[in-house]
Each structure stands twice: as structure tokens, then as C-alpha cells.
Structure 1
Amino acid sequence: MRQRKIQSMFNHTIKEHFAEGSRPILSHLLLKAELWFVNSDFAFEFAQLLLPNTVFIGGLLDKPINPIPEDLETFITKFGNSGFVLVALGSIMSEYLKQKDLKEMNSAFAQLSQGVLWKCKHSLWPRDVKLAANVKSVDWLPQNDLLAHPGIHLFVTCGGENSIMETIQHGVPMVGIPLSGDLPGNMVQVEAKNFGVSLPLKKLKAETLDLKMKQVIEDKRNKSAAMTASTIQHSHPLSPSQ
């Protein structure tokens, strides 16, 4: 059932490129595929057997690093050597967050000595809650550029594979709050590799999130593992696009 739901997302593409009456069934196309490009990397995956026609291209979507907007840089600078935490849970998961979840997260962030840059739509914010003094909330932020910033200490993510690939690229440890789909499994791999920890959404409480974040920030083994993964990703003889 899950596989059918995922494949149905590509029906519009098939309708766009094939005339009615000649449209193939996606599952049949998958069986005929002669070459598979997979958005992952050996720095992230468990040891596994791969067919010769399978190529990992994790990092293909990596972008050049640009200077971050002045208002964000000014906010980060206020916290000096304490640095900052980046929070971006993805567009889909953000819509699933309830107001009580936002309140718990805000309370947890208030306990940090770091500044917190949080991608959170203002339209979703509870009107009866004041944003913590060390938090800046924005509707959009340049995630890749911020992950490359020397002042970043932690990334709080939903555990999406694209975000994980960006995080590995820059060697940033993470706390994942996975919801469903492939996200919990992704975070299992992150924990096994020791460059992050997972906190399921149903267990999200201010004290638990605070503990997880401080655990990752203060335990230098997490940062070391993240940097090791980054080194592995950058060590390939060819870039993903090549």
C-alpha cells in the first residue's frame, strides 16, 4: 500500500509525457530500468550488496555556498562563540506540527546558550506564545549556506534524505524529529553512524528535546563522526554530477 501511494505521486509526470492509451504502468517501468541513480552516499548507508547498475549520487543537489543575508548574520553574531542552532523540519512536516509541539520546541530552545534560527511559518505560530529571546523565526532561510557557516553547532531536522546529505557535506551533527515514511529509518542510520540522535514526534517534550540537543552539542564524538562522514563524502574520485 505504501509503495503504491509513493508511485501514485509520479502519475502526473506519466500523463504529461505519454498520450492516453499508451501510458505505461510505473511499476513495470521500474522493473525494466537498466540503471539506478540513488540519492545517498556510503558515508550514510549501512554496508550492503549493490548491483552493478546502481550508482550512489548523494550530494547531487549540493549548491555553491553563498553569503547569508545580513539580518541572519547579525543575529548569529550576537551570540559570539556560543554560535547557533539551525532548525528546519521541512515543508510537509511543519504542516503537521500542532501548536503544543511548537510550544514545547520554543521552551526547549529557550534553555540553550546558542542562538536558534528556526524556519517556521508565522501563520502557524500560537498567538498566546512569545518567541524565546534567543530564537529568530523566519518563513524561509538558506539552509545549505547556514549549514556551511562556521558558527553552527547543531541542525534540528525532520530527517529527510536531502537534508541529511547537505548536513553530511558540511559535517554538522543533528537531532532528528522524524514523522513517518522513510524519516524514522533515516534517523536509525544517523544514530548508528553516531553523528546525531533521534526524537520521535510523539515523544516531543521540552525537557527531552533540550536534553537531546545538549547531548549532541556537548559530546564531541558526534561532531567528530559528522566530520568523518563529510570526509568520506568528499573523498570520492568523481563528484555526483560526474
Structure 2
Amino acid sequence: MTNNALQELDKEWEEFNTEFTKAETEHLAYLGSYRQLCTVQNGCSDKTKHLKYVLKQLGQDIDSLLRQKGLSEQDKVGLGAKKAQASQIRAKLAEMQRELPAHDNGYYLNEYESFKLSVACVILATFFVVFWLPPFFIALDALCNFLLVWYYCTLTIRESILRHNGSRIKGWWVLHHYITCVLCCITLTWSGGECYETMRPVFFVLVCYVSSVQIIQ
């Protein structure tokens, strides 16, 4: 019984080693193809960026020539045709760039951080000023709350895009912003009254505190 079990194990082990060797060979072939693909992609990306830059310079030259006086009608027609062709090429280059993989996640992450910092400063300044106004300026309070709704909606969209592109933004952080967005919608629809006037100072202080923390981050 034991010998049969050992023989069966040896047979399965041999089959496993064969499959593993095959998988390892296929993986090495995949890595080679992937590196080659990355090289081609990077070359296409660099070439596309260079062509967009050159096309921009040529477009400026065409516009500059069209503004000059003394051009013959034939020259104007020729420049107009080049300008129309440049627009078509620009659209094609944009399409080519969209078809290439995005390698600008760091750029978008920096843009996200810049957006968060600038809007947090605006929110802090706005809420600080409105805080000292009498609570019967309900329209200004609604405007402040709308600013919060827009900010957190935009923030969650940007964070979802970054996570989809491989960013390490934690899920709980995005969930926290979704919840905050819902709460801001509730405060936006909150009509004035004694309860609102009681809550208002605490809410404004909380918003200023959260904005200050985001600026410090």
C-alpha cells in the first residue's frame, strides 16, 4: 500500500515538474515579449509627444504667416490647406496617444494633490469669512455647502481614476470621501431653523479644521 502511494506521488511529482518547467519557459517568453512591447510603446509615446510639439510650432508659424500682409491668394490657399491638415493630424495624434498605455499616473497624482490643496485653501477662507456673518445669510451657507458637495464629488472621481490606474490610495480613504459627500448633500438641503443655528458654529469649525488638516498634509 505504501509502495503504491509512493509510486503515485512520484508520478504526480514528475507531472508537476514537467508542467512547472513548461510554465517557466512560457513565463520567460512572456517577459521577453513584454519588454519588447514596452520598448515599442515607449518609442511610440516619445515619438507622438515629439510630433505634437513640432506640429504646435508649425501651427504657430502658419498662423504668423497668415497674419502677414502681401500674401498672394495662392499662398493663402496653400497655408489654409496646411492648417486644415494640421487639425486632422492633431486629432489623429490625440487618438494615437489615447491608444497607448498611460504612464503619467505620477502627473495625475500631483495634479490631484494640487487640486486638493488649492480647493482646501478656498474652502477654509470661505467658511472662515462666512462663519462671522449672521446665520440668517442662509444663501451664503448654501453656497458654502454646495462648494463642499462639488469638492468631495470631484475628489472621489479623481481618486477612483487614480486607483483604477494603479495608485495606492486606500479604499477606506475613498469611502470616507463618499460618506462626506453624502453628508454635505444633507447639510445643503437643511433648511434654516433653531436646530440649524445651533449646529452651524460646530459645523463651520469642523470644516475649517478638516481643511486645515488637508492643507498640512
Structure in which a larger fraction of residues adopt strand = 1
**Is TM > 0.5 for Structure 1 vs Structure 2?**
no
Higher Cα Rg: structure 1 or 2?
A: 2
What TM-score, normalized to structure 2?
0.29
Structure in which a larger fraction of residues adopt helix = 2
